[in-house]
Each structure stands twice: as C-alpha cells, then as structure tokens.
Amino acid sequence: MIAARPLRWVGRLRPSGKVGLALVLLWALVALLGPLFAPYSIGAFIDQSVFSRPSAQMPLGSDYLGRDVLSRLLSGARYTVGLGAGATIIACTIGTSLALTSAVGRRVFDEAMSRFMDAFTSIPSKILALVMVAAFGSSLGLLLLVTALTYVPGNYRIARSLAVNLNQMDFVQVARARGEPIAYIAVREILPNMIHPLLADLGLRFVFIVLLLSALSFLGLGVQPPNADLGSLVRENMSGIAEGAPAVLVPALAIASLTIGVNLLIDALKRKAGA
Amino acid sequence: MTPSADPGRRASHARLLRMIVARIGVAVMTLFLVSLIIFVITNLLPGDAAQELLGQTATPAQIAALRHEMGLDRPAPVRFGLWLAGLAGGDAGMSMVTNMPVSAVIAERLPNSLLLAAIAALVSVPFALSAGILSAVNRGGRIDSALNLATLSMVAVPEFLVATIAVLIFSVELRWLPSISMLPPDATLLDRLQSLAMPVASLSFVVVAQMARMTRAAIIDQLDRPYVEMARLKGLSARRIVIGHVLPNALGPIVNAMALSLSYLLGGAIIVETIFNYPGLASLMVNAVTSRDMPLLQACAMIFCGIYLMMMLAADLIAIIANPRLRTA
C-alpha cells in the first residue's frame, strides 16, 4: 500500500522527516554502491603528504598514511551500515521471538525470562559490550553477535509489553477459544498488530548499535585492520586533530548524519501515526 | 494525640518501610545475577589466564602448576563463590598486567571518575530541567519543536564527534584549553578545572539531551491529568500550575529520568576518558580489555553495574517517598 503511492507518503512527512529520509537513503546507497564510486583503491598511498587539505584529486584530502579519505569513507560506510543493520535484525528477531513466547507461553517462562532480561539491562550497554569483546574477541562475526546481544534485552522489554497488552484483547481470546495453536496466535494474531511500534524500536536499536559499534572501533576494540568502519577511520586519524584534518572530522560527521537521519525519520513517522 | 501514636500513620509507615526493604532486596538480587552474568561471560571460552601468562613456550606441567596456584583448576561454581566473596570483602584479586592488587589500581582511579561524573551531573541537570520544562509548557509550539529537533539530534551524536569538535575549537583554534588531561601532582585548582572543562562538556552534551527529553515526557504526562484541568478551571496562572501543582507530582518521574540519563555518564565516560587521556576508571577498563586483564575487567564492570543499580535504586526510593499515593496504596 505504501509502495503504491510513495510520493504521497513522503509528501505527508514533516520537513525534518524528509531530511531524515534523504539521509537514510543516501547512506543506504553509499553502503550498497559506495565502493563502485571510490576514486582509488582503499589501501593505495596516493599522496606524499599526510592529512592534506581537500583538492581536485582528493575531495576529502588524505589520511595519516596519505591514502584517499573519500575512498576509505565509501568503503567504511559499508561496514558500519552493514554490521549495524545485521546486528539490529538479529537483536530484534531474538528479542521479539522471546517476547512473544513470554506473552503467550507459560507463566514460568515469562517470569524467568523477564528476571533474566532485567538483570541484563542492569549492565550498561557499553560495559556489557566491552566484557564480551574481552572474552570473545572482535572478529567481524563476533562483533555482529556482541552488538546484537547487547541490545536484545531492550527490544525484549518493549516487545513483551506490547505483546502482553495485545494478549488481553478480545480477538486473541477468540482465537484461543477456537483452539488455535500458540505459535499461530503469536505470529498471526499478535505480531501483525504490534508491527508499527516494533519498527520504530528497530530504528532506535539501529541507532544504538551503530553508535556502539563506532565507539568500539574508535577504542580499537571493534572492526580490526585491514578492515575499517567509520569508527576505525576516526581512530586511525586522531593524530590529525591538531591540524583540523578532514580525515578525522568527516567520518565522525558521517556517523552522526546517519544516526541523526534515522532518528529524525522515526520521529516524523511516529508523529504521523500518532496524529 | 502525637502523630506517632496515630495507628493509621504508623501502619502506612510500616508499609512504606516494607516497600523500601523489598526494593532494596530486588537490587541485591539483581546485582547477584549481574555478577553471575559477568562471571559466566568472562569464563566462557577455553584457554585461561595461566596459559596466557606463560605463553606458547610453556610446558603443560608449568601451566598446570600455575593453574593450581591461581586456583583455576577448581570447578567454576567454587571459583564464582570465591570471587564473589572476595569482591564483597573488597579483595578483587591481582591485576595480571600490573601485578598489583586490583583494589589498589581501582582506588587510584575511581575518585577521578566520580569527580568527572559529579561535575558533569551538576552541569547537565539545570540545563536539562529548564529545557524539559520549557518544551513541556510550550507543547506543540515553536520552542518545543526546536528543542525536540535539537535534542533528537544530540542523542544520536557519537561522543567522539563532540569531543573532537571541542578539541578543535578550544585547544587548536582558540588555544584556551589543554587537549589532554594529564596533570602534575602539584597542579593548581585552575589547572584542574581547565583540564576538566572539555571532558565535562563532551559528557554533558548527550546527557543533557536525553534528560531533557525524559523530563518533558514526565511533565507532559502530568499536564494531561484531571487535576491540572481543575487548576486551570480555578483560574490559576500557568506558572502557578507548573510550579505549585505539576512539579511536585512529577518529581518522582523526573528524578527517575535524571538517574536513568546520569547512568549514561558511565558509558559515555568510556569514550571521553580515552580521548582526553583522563586517568579514570573507564579508561582503566578499556586498558583491561586491550590487555585481557580479566580480574581487573571483572572488577571494573562490577563497579559500573553497582553504581548503575544504586542510582536506579535511589531513583525508585525517591519516587516512593515523593509520591503519597505510592506510600499509602
């Protein structure tokens, strides 16, 4: 329905929502196609001087080794957006499945799971992620898992409270009385009715996960060389800060524009739904 | 009749006390579960400290001897019990990298982190409160929309961007402030304040935004209640409604919001302390991760979680005490 009249849907967004949507689309495109447009290979040493200013050859200048910042940014965005999106989907799939099981399943499961998740949420997310990175290491696959697991409890909490409320509704009671299996009730009766707030939560988790991932990479505990996400780009060029090099600022601004964009879009969509 | 002799009041005091004790019980229980989670995660993988300390060249006999000496050959539940008992008694074991007691290493760093967090909290709370109240009172208006956009963007900004921009402006361009926080022991008060300025500003940036949003929500929730309409119908001014009626009722939720966002200082400190080379607990923890110094890491994580839980506990207790209905319900 939304796809059938895309322009009207976009047209009804408030201006900040349109800006958000544009930023999200931009970064999605960069993540998908970015490396195709990279002027140089990411490892190539282009410039003799390091932290050079933007020029016609290098629109964003050179980094601490004289490599092209634009090319590295285009490929770094792929890691940030890709890992972020992957971890978000894993986190929300696990969190929401457990939440649905809690809501329609046995009371004992709900009690135990909710206690356990409460304990997990009492560990600040960055602390939890640091402990997991120290224990498991930080290869790309493990990073995906660590950032996803960190945000499972938050999603569980939201999804469970939505599902528990829906579980009291008449149409769910009717389905129960019809003798529908529990899985049917969870997936066909409850899930479709909570999909909008869940999608908003999905967007928020994505923002949290991208910020966490960037923070880990910035600390040198995230994506490891030779791979580099946007956070690693900031880290490796920190010595250029005294010169105000674009190599430090641009990747950091890139992360902020991605997360702010998602936030603005969610906010606008929520208000449209609420109005 | 003296108040304490009033049976109704005594009963409600007893009920209040029971609620507080129950809430403290939940906090202790959660802290225990948290310690279990941290212990399990840090002991999940095979390969242990003895192996790591001795390196590849060690013979199996040497490793076994060291494992025995470090108590690593005991079953996991026993090690968990010993570790927890040690923590409770203030003995968190030896830091593997510095070869000093973990408690000594932490004692050196913890006051610095608390100082940073306390100043950041002092700076953020007034800003956040006024921004939150201002947008709640002007709900739907221009100020509200502008503040909403600003805080919505601020919560999504990575701390290192704020810190980098601060360094760029204040130490590179204006040369007002030092870009790292290394202080000689004989530093003057002014030196100390100067070196704290940028870490505090970077930390407060995101926290203020979060706190303002939650304060706004808490106040708006109150503004929709019937008693506010009653006050309006009585002809009270908007200022009196907010200050005399809404704020006292919203105190619990606001304090809760403050505690939740202040706990964010803990996570934010990790980045900010690292960027500014601030000798606090968070940068110590990052070092512990890099060097895989597990006893130190476990202790740091437990301290952060303990502080977090204490803040949540304090917020809930204040909410219980501030809300007459919770007291007598």
Reduce the secondary structure of B40-109 to three states and give it as a string. Answer: HHHCCCCCCHHHHHHCCCCCHHHHHHHHHHHCCCCCHHHHHHHHHHHHHCCCCCECCCCCCEHHHHHHHH
Per-residue pLDDT of B168-182, as tens digits, reads 888 777 777 766 655
Q: Which two tokens stand for residue A264?
A: 């603005």
pLDDT of residue B6: 64
| Confidence grade of residue B45 (pLDDT, cut at 50, 70, 90) | low
pLDDT of residue B327: 54
Region A112-127: what's the mean pLDDT?
87
Beta-carbon contacts of residue B18 (< 8 Å; ≥ 6 apart)? none
| CA atoms of A142 and A60, how far apart (whole Å) | 32
More confident residue, A40 or A116: A116
Per-residue pLDDT of A37-85, as tens digits, reads 888 777 777 777 778 788 777 778 888 787 888 888 998 999 999 999 9
More confident residue, A223 or B54: A223
Region A142-165: what's the mean pLDDT?
91
| CA atoms of A264 and A18, how far apart (whole Å) | 8
**What count of CB pairs under 8 Å joins A to B?**
141
Beta-carbon contacts of residue B23 (< 8 Å; ≥ 6 apart)? B313, B316, B317, B320
Per-residue pLDDT of B7-43, as tens digits, reads 666 777 788 888 889 889 988 988 999 999 998 888 8
Q: Which residue from B267, B290, B309 is facing A125, i.e. has the nearest CB?
A: B267
Region A13-18: what's the mean pLDDT?
86
| Confidence grade of residue B324 (pLDDT, cut at 50, 70, 90) | low
Interface test with A, best of B270, B271, B310 (most A CBs within 10 A): B270
| pTM of the model as a whole | 0.87
pLDDT of residue A5: 60
Region B281-294: what's the mean pLDDT?
87
Q: Is residue A18 scored above 60 in pLDDT?
A: yes
In terms of DSSP H, where are the helices of chain A? 6-11, 15-33, 69-104, 107-121, 125-136, 140-150, 152-167, 170-178, 182-184, 195-218, 230-236, 246-274
* CA distances from residue A80 to A56, A159, A256, B262 in whole angstroms, order as listed: 27, 26, 12, 27
44-73 of B, contacting A, C-beta below 8 A: 44-45
Per-residue pLDDT of B125-156, as tens digits, reads 999 999 998 898 888 888 888 998 898 888 88
Q: Which residues of B touch A218 (CB under 8 A)?
A: 158, 160, 271, 274
Q: Is residue A4 scored above 70 in pLDDT?
A: no
Q: In percent, how much of chain B has pLDDT > 70?
A: 87
pLDDT-wise least confident of A110-114, B156-160, B183-187 = B183-187
**A127–B41: do the CB atoms touch at under 8 Å?**
no
Q: What is the mean pLDDT of chain B?
A: 82
Task: Output Rg (C-alpha) for chain B, integer angstroms.
Answer: 25
Phi, psi (rounded to 5 degrees) for A45: -85, 110
Q: Is residue A95 scored above 50 in pLDDT?
A: yes
**A241–B168: do the CB atoms touch at under 8 Å?**
yes
pLDDT of residue A22: 92
Chain A: closest CA distance from residue B33 (Å): 6
Q: Which residues of A touch B33 (CB under 8 A)?
A: 115-116, 119, 122
Residue of B nearest to A221 (CA): B290
Q: Which residues of B touch A153 (CB under 8 A)?
A: none
Per-residue pLDDT of A217-237, as tens digits, reads 999 898 888 888 999 989 988
b/e per residue, A139-158, with b = 16+ CB within 10 A? Answer: ebeebbbbbbbbbbbbbbbb
142-181 of B, contacting A, C-beta below 8 A: 148-149, 152-153, 155-161, 164-165, 167-168, 172-173, 179
Residue of B nearest to A237 (CA): B164
Long-range CB contacts (< 8 A, 24+ apart) of B15-24? B15/B327, B15/B328, B16/B320, B16/B321, B16/B327, B19/B320, B19/B326, B19/B327, B20/B317, B20/B320, B23/B313, B23/B316, B23/B317, B23/B320, B24/B313
pLDDT of residue B185: 62
| ipTM score of complex | 0.83
Q: Is residue A259 scored above 90 in pLDDT?
A: yes
Q: Is residue B228 scored above 90 in pLDDT?
A: no
pLDDT-wise least confident of A139-153, B78-92, B277-291, B303-317 = B78-92
Residue A211 in contact with partner chain B when CB distance is under 8 A: yes
Per-residue pLDDT of B179-215, as tens digits, reads 665 556 666 667 777 778 888 988 898 889 988 988 8
pLDDT of residue B178: 66
* CA distances from residue B146 to A17, A251, B136, B209, B288 in whole angstroms, order as listed: 14, 26, 12, 12, 42
pLDDT of residue B329: 44
pLDDT of residue A1: 46
Residue A275 in contact with partner chain B when CB distance is under 8 A: no
Phi, psi (rounded to 5 degrees) for B89: -90, 5
Q: Is residue B1 scored above 50 in pLDDT?
A: no
Region B77-105: what's the mean pLDDT?
81
Task: Tell the burial category of B308 from Cβ atoms under 10 Å away from its Cβ (0-12, 13-18, 19+).
Answer: buried
pLDDT of residue B187: 64
